[in-house]
Structure 1
């Protein structure tokens, strides 16, 4: 990432290819100077996403296989591993233990575990991970399959317990905070508990919401003040931490 000195905000988890107009959304990120990590839900979308974002200064594509799809599309795992050789960014991957996806958890574990193994083998990978109702399993797999000096794990929209959060911290994870976490009681407690040197921001757009509408790139700037309010500190403290934490992520990539 060669434009870190010009970045105005950071979105470490966004579904750019699911926007109404991906090209217009990328242009918005460019105009606002928002670094955006564009996650991919299936590796078959990777070639188009890579092409779409090839000319962008601020938007980077990640290769992934969403856990909600892994039960049906696990045969695409080899394609994920092949594409991982082309990028430092991996996501969206992980586990989903919610009732509608719990039946595929064993398949999800095999897929996610194999992706973690490949990331560890290749090194220099940043992974944005989904852990809804499966935080403990995700963290245990991260601990067993990766080392923090080779794989930097970001837990996106974390909704586990405080004990699970602390376990994630001990495993070397960072946490990307979005507007949805600011709005719920549990989310605010977690936002207040994440060590400041592990805090990142995200939108999870188009799924994330801000003030009753779909979250947009610009909302990561507003998140700085919202996080500061939850933590009872000045916005400048959060802004400085985000710059330093993001530099750590960028320094990890090739």
Structure 2
């Protein structure tokens, strides 16, 4: 029963935080530390519940994802969201996180003290992006230019540092490149999919030996919880973002980092 409760709690954390600018990885590490769930099995569990969040985005944006296989807009040079946007947004972080730094990051940076640094650094970026943003030139995905897609992809590279947040870095990059909240956040969701699938797939292969039949109920609860909560969180977040902007999420990150440092790390 304890494992099921832990799975439910972490599933909620993953579902809420994966596509919000607060860092799901950072929150999973911090909450896992508080729950005493930090062994090799915990690492594999985190991979499985991330797949639940991935499935949620796949279903919510299934029509957009299917449209990426249509190459007519590219051949006709139409101003429409297409596969090239995804490639430009995914290629930089995939190379840096997937090929160059993946093992180093997993080995040395997945710790509570480094996450605290990432939470604060990401919050500062978000506040700067809010203050420096100007009138958008792209209000929807179809308005995004290739340059904006590449810029957002480069900002996604910052998310390789645990606690920095993929959504926080990419949405900040979108605002700084004159994309609207809606265009920035939806593009952030879509370019997260290939990176997350690649990273979780690689991790799952490496940690497959830590799975056992007795873990199935726990992993299933975590997966389903993450999926359902992520579905609800994404829809709600898009509405909040238009009204509140990034600043409240930035302040939340700073408060969490300070509280965790005072009551846990010191």
**Pairwise TM-score range, normalised by the shorter structure:** under 0.3
Larger Rg: 2
| Larger RCO of the pair (alpha carbons < 8 Å, separation 6+) | 2
TM-score relative to the length of structure 2: 0.25
TM-score relative to the length of structure 1: 0.26
Which structure's residues are more often strand, by fraction?
A: 1
